[in-house]
Structure 1
Amino acid sequence: MSRLTVTLTEFSEHQMPLLEKVWIELQQNSEQSFFTSWHWISTWLKYINFKTDLIKVLDGDEVVGLGLLCFKSNRKYGVTSRQAWLNRTGDGVKDQIWLEYNDVLCAKHRAWAVRAALADYFEHALHQCDELMVGVSNSELIEIPRASTLMQHTSWETVSYATHLQSAFANLDCFLNTLSANTRSQIRRTQKLYSQRGAIKLTKASSAEEALMMLNEVSILHLARWGKINSGFENPEFFRFHVQLIKDNFNSEAIDILKLTVGELTIGYLYNLIYQDQVYFYLSGINYEKDNRIKPGLLIHSLATAYYAEKGYSTYDYMGGEGRYKKSLSSHSNKMIISSIRRKKPHFLLSYCIHKLKSRFTNQKSISNCTND
């Protein structure tokens, strides 16, 4: 096998048609996610006004890896670092659109070699950069092969949850029978209480226009639940991106917005992204009630699970973020991280030592507390 080579060129809008062709050809030979597909990437390029650099990983003349790098300076603790951000801008406001499973788009069975080539390129060619920023990604990216002159740093981590779908789950009872007795009881009780008010119905947006109207309704419910601090809908950039994502991709069946109603009452919405045979739950807007016996979130996700099982999808992915409902409904979990590759510069080494000392102190305190119980 020949040595992989990496090129980095400034991107411009007129390159979109050619990049679309190359990107789609590669993604057809890839096993990655919606967030590295042309669905997401093409909208993101327009969103950032095409201000990025294109990175290609080549095996001879064959493209085996593609990614986009944005460069930004970051000042912390009185030290300025130059950062390269993979498929993100480095601007917290713009990056609140929150992609997950971030990675270089890699040819099937070539992921480790492509990632290693990128790390090698960072070490030897991106001399102006101190840090290569990646994430939110699967935790396996910690294991990217890298030179001894580089160090890996994880700045954030969480758990992602997902359900492996079976055709039998098209029957809701079959799915519920895989859950704990407590979760099953809560969902069935919710069904019973709602059914006393009217017919329970799950419907899908039938057009991009209807999906956009639903997105507005989702935003109202999401803001009511999460307020101005934790809801992306408070950020105009977030809303702008997702409006464009729906406009660009609804007709290609890459976007689903599901609505749950009971009679004339709207219970909630799910905004989902679709890629290959997987469903990615992106966010919800739920009309919560004071009666804590009613669990609308559990019900709408259960009905969505049955709906997607009937459609033949393989996975219903709740993605990153702790949540009791995710744990209750899922069949497996993974760790997700925001990670970077850093040069071994003094301020990074000092930061690493401080982090290790804090971790050791926390662990010792935890052990001491256990001993005193």
Structure 2
Amino acid sequence: MLNPTIKVIPLKEYPLEQLEQEWIALFERSAGCFFLSWNWIGSWLSILPNFDNVYVVRAVSTVVNKPSMNNDALNDYTLDDYALDDLLGFGIFCETHVRRHGFVTSKQWHLHRTGNDKLDQIWIEYNDFLLSSGDAISSHQIRTAMWQSLLTSNSRSQNVDEYIVNVAESNSYNALKQSLFNQNHAHSFTFELDSKQLGFKTALTDSKIQDYPNKFSKSSFKQINKTRLELSKLGDLEIEYITNHDAAFECLNFAKTWHIDKWASSQTPSGFCNDAFIRFHKKLCEQNNNDQKVVCIVARLNNQVIGVNYIFIDATTAYFYLSCLKPQNNSRIKLGLLLHQESVKYAQFQNLNYYDFLAGQSRYKQQLSDITTEFACYTLRRKKASFVIESTLSKVKAYLVRN
């Protein structure tokens, strides 16, 4: 097994053009999830107010002419002492300082998030380090080595109290927990599961995908056919696939009012009410390329937009991110189901393997899919007296509420 060299570098000291080049090069050797592409990460960085307290964690397999292996020396050598093929892993953390309950203080590092609700409303999923998937060393080994370095030996991260990873795939981090804690690498930390939820996706290579979603849910299939019939009574229905970056963002901008109205009374209002969310997606649309891109699946009635599915595409998967649907007076019209059928058709046409509904247990996701995934939010928390007291008081409070 190769022995990766792990380095933590303030983003302000890392030329952004170089980071982009290196990130893209590593992404091409990774599992290739859209949420870890430079399209997503670069767009996210573009909405940060500044790069203060933002850190790049980088793993490389070899370092040419590196100095002695003490931590201070490792923090001094130049960024250019390796080749692109040597890159094994990348991650970006944002630092925050919080106070809870008046007496608990914590220095937190958030992976690919900021800790600020408005900036984090873009909601990354499949959150993880960007990892090489080569044969010489597995992505699990690289992930473990990077976390081991952060938790035990890297000088820049020694005062971090909590590492927070939101919406990670459970399988990867359950394996990480076993590797780190069974080997006693992280004896000064606990590995906390904060929350979890299921996700759903559909395999597009199965014969069941013909006449989708008839073999998953006959009732949904009938509702889609009824929707087409009812819409045909009102005029001409057209489906359009928009990949042009300007047109895609204009389409979202036009339809956003429906999304805003739908979520207006919820605890989490529409992201379209959030300027950072809008700026992020404008940038994301601008970064479209042939391999990682955003696509709007648009339904038009008499040449007027009545619904939009906003999806992300990588080499294997189409990810459903959100929809904007014009309210209909006719309860037989199910625009959402119709657009998912058309989105699956588009994904099939692109020879993709999956249509992913992402996290969330909405009934329609379960009805239209055949694969269940699990996502979770984790905190790797330093063992401190104040955290032990906080945890004990929380358990006592929960007990009193139950009884």
Structure 2 residue aligned with 1:10 = 10
Structure 2 residue aligned with 1:81 = 106
Of 208, 212, 223, 2:249 maps to 212
Structure 1 residue aligned with 2:60 = 58
Alignment of 1:107 onto 2:132: yes
Structure 2 residue aligned with 1:292 = 331
State the SS of the aligned residue for 2:234.
coil
- Shift of the alpha carbon at 1:138? 0.6
**Residues 33 and 314 of structure 2 are in contact (CA less than 8 Å); yes or no, is this contact kept in structure 1?**
yes
- Shift of the alpha carbon at 1:315? 0.9
- Shift of the alpha carbon at 1:170? 7.9
Of 174, 181, 185, 1:142 maps to 174
TM-score, normalisation: structure 2? 0.83
Amino acid of the structure 1 residue aligned with 2:113:
R
Q: Distance in 1 between matches of 2:310 and 2:255?
A: 8
Structure 1 residue aligned with 2:78 = none
Amino acid of the structure 1 residue aligned with 2:326:
N
Q: Distance in 2 between matches of 1:84 and 1:313?
A: 35
Amino acid of the structure 2 residue aligned with 1:242:
H
- Shift of the alpha carbon at 1:250? 5.7
- Shift of the alpha carbon at 1:105? 0.5
- Shift of the alpha carbon at 1:252? 6.3
Q: Distance in 2 between matches of 1:318 and 1:9?
A: 35
Structure 2 residue aligned with 1:70 = 94
Alignment of 1:186 onto 2:211: no
State the SS of the aligned residue for 1:240.
helix
RMSD between superposed Cα atoms in Å: 2.4
Of 116, 127, 144, 1:116 maps to 144
Q: Distance in 2 between matches of 1:134 and 1:32?
A: 19
- Shift of the alpha carbon at 1:110? 2.3
Alignment of 1:330 onto 2:369: yes
Amino acid of the structure 2 residue aligned with 1:103:
D
**Residues 34 and 292 of structure 2 are in contact (CA less than 8 Å); yes or no, is this contact kept in structure 1?**
no
Q: Distance in 2 between matches of 1:64 and 1:22?
A: 10
**Residues 21-53 of structure 1: CA distance to partner in whole angstroms, max 9, x if unpaired?**
221221111114111111111222222244421
- Shift of the alpha carbon at 1:73? 0.5
- State how 1:282-361 maps to structure 2 within 5 Å: 282-353=321-392
Alignment of 1:263 onto 2:302: yes
Alignment of 1:249 onto 2:320: no
Amino acid of the structure 2 residue aligned with 1:333:
T
Of 97, 108, 111, 2:122 maps to 97
**Residues 291 and 314 of structure 2 are in contact (CA less than 8 Å); yes or no, is this contact kept in structure 1?**
no
- Shift of the alpha carbon at 1:158? 1.7
Q: Distance in 1 between matches of 2:393 and 2:356?
A: 36
- Shift of the alpha carbon at 1:59? 2.4
State the SS of the aligned residue for 1:220.
helix
State the SS of the aligned residue for 1:336.
strand
Amino acid of the structure 1 residue aligned with 2:301:
V
**Residues 85-144 of structure 1: CA distance to partner in whole angstroms, max 9, x if unpaired?**
111122121111111111101111622222222322222232211011112111121332
**Residues 137 and 337 of structure 1 are in contact (CA less than 8 Å); yes or no, is this contact kept in structure 2?**
yes
Change (3 A) 1:13 1:185: farther
Change (3 A) 1:293 1:350: farther
In structure 1, the gaps of 5 or more residues are 366-373
Q: Distance in 2 between matches of 1:54 and 1:279?
A: 28
In structure 2, the gaps of 5 or more residues are 64-85, 181-185
**Residues 138-186 of structure 1: CA distance to partner in whole angstroms, max 9, x if unpaired?**
1121332322322111223222111111386885x2x233222222222
The more displaced of 72-81 and 57-66 is: 57-66
- Shift of the alpha carbon at 1:15? 1.2
Q: How many residues align?
A: 362
Q: Distance in 2 between matches of 1:323 and 1:313?
A: 24
**Residues 241 and 297 of structure 2 are in contact (CA less than 8 Å); yes or no, is this contact kept in structure 1?**
yes
Q: Distance in 1 between matches of 2:348 and 2:398?
A: 43
Structure 2 residue aligned with 1:130 = 161
Alignment of 1:47 onto 2:34: no
Of 246, 259, 276, 1:222 maps to 259
Q: Distance in 1 between matches of 2:37 and 2:292?
A: 14
State the SS of the aligned residue for 2:264.
helix
Q: Distance in 2 between matches of 1:205 and 1:252?
A: 15
Change (3 A) 1:220 1:355: same
Amino acid of the structure 1 residue aligned with 2:142:
V
